[in-house]
Amino acid sequence: MPLARLLSFLVFLSMVSSPVSADGQIAEKVATYPITGKTGEELYVSIGESGPTAGGSRAIAHTTFDLKWSRKYEKRGSACVLAAAKPWLTITYTVPKPAGRLPDAVHRHWDTFAAGVLAHEKVHGDTIKAMVRTIEGFSVGFTVENDPNCKVIRQELTKRLKAASDTQRQQGRDFDREEFRDGGNMHRLILGLVNGG
């Protein structure tokens, strides 16, 4: 398989956000999609055929999250204050999993590859959790004067949320660029699987 094709698979992030009334919590789960093959190259070809898509490209794995908030706004005189903001965050790591039994030699290479892929995705998870902590930090106590109906504060909060999200997404892109570059961690994992199994 040409190296350019090997590196064409991209990791992508998506975000769903809506307010709910719930206690703040963070949950992480791993989901899998099936692939087939008896060699490292066959497994990787199957990833290219079966992996999740984003923008028309296939991914080896991806990290998605569902972020919802329970927010309490309070009127204090003519001001509006965001008195409480509790996140409900679910992070899902979707990774490949062979559908059948692998030869022992291939299995060892696969285990190394799979562990590396999940570790890569969990770094994306860490940036998502850091984003949520950042949002909590600037949300609680956020005050807008002359906003007795608590309308302006929501608009201003949306701007701050977008900035935090943009930062997290850029961190993800920068991390992927480093990991997938020639000699990068993911690049080495891919070559180890394809050439070693």
Q: How far apart are CA 122 and CA 48, in angstroms?
A: 21
Tell me the per-residue pLDDT of 137-187, one tens digit each, with 9 for 90 and over.
999 999 999 999 999 999 999 999 999 999 999 999 999 999 999 999 999
Q: How far apart are CA 73 and CA 71, in angstroms?
A: 6
Mean pLDDT of the chain: 87
- State yes or no: pLDDT of 9 exceeds 80: no
Residues with Cβ within 8 Å of residue 163, at least 6 apart in sequence: none
3-class secondary-structure state, position 197? coil
- State yes or no: pLDDT of 18 exceeds 60: no
Residue with the two structure tokens 């991914």? 59
Residue with the two structure tokens 């080495």? 188
Residue with the two structure tokens 């003519």? 78
Tell me the per-residue pLDDT of 75-109, one tens digit each, with 9 for 90 and over.
999 999 999 999 999 999 999 999 999 999 999 99
The pair of structure tokens assigned to 31 is 């989901």
Tell me the per-residue pLDDT of 20-72, one tens digit each, with 9 for 90 and over.
334 579 999 999 999 999 999 999 999 999 998 865 788 999 999 999 999 99
Question: What average pLDDT does range 122-138 have in this prediction?
Answer: 96
Share of the chain above pLDDT 90, in %: 83
- Model confidence at 197, in pLDDT bands (50, 70, 90)? low
Tell me the per-residue pLDDT of 117-127, one tens digit each, with 9 for 90 and over.
999 999 999 99
